Amino acid sequence: MSLPRPVRGVVFDMDGLLVDSESMFRDVMMEVSLRRGVDLPLAVFLRMVGLQHEASRAVAMAHFGDDFDYDPWIADIWALAVARGEVGIAVKAGVTELLDHLDLAAIPRAVATSSSHASVERQLGRNGLLPRFQAIVAAGDYARGKPDPDPFLVAADRLGVPATACLALEDSHNGVRAAHAAGMMTIMVPDLLEATEEMRGLCVAIADTLHGVRDLLSVQEGTAAKTKPERPYSV
Contact (CB, 8 A) for 176 and 199? yes
Kindly name the residue from 15, 150, 171, 191 that is annotated as catalytic: 15
HSE at residue 74, side-chain half, CA atoms within 13 A, is 15
Residue 39 bears catalytic tag: no
Residue 15 bears catalytic tag: yes
Kindly name the residue from 13, 148, 150, 191 that is annotated as catalytic: 13
Strands (E), the chain: 9-12, 109-112, 135-137, 166-170, 185-188, 205-206
What are the backbone dihedrals phi and psi of residue 146, each rounded to the nearest 5 degrees, phi first?
A: -55, 140
Secondary structure letter of residue 196 according to DSSP = -
**Exposed, middle or buried: residue 234 (CB in 10 Å: 0-12, 13-18, 19+)?**
exposed
Query: Which residues are known catalytic residues?
Result: 13, 15
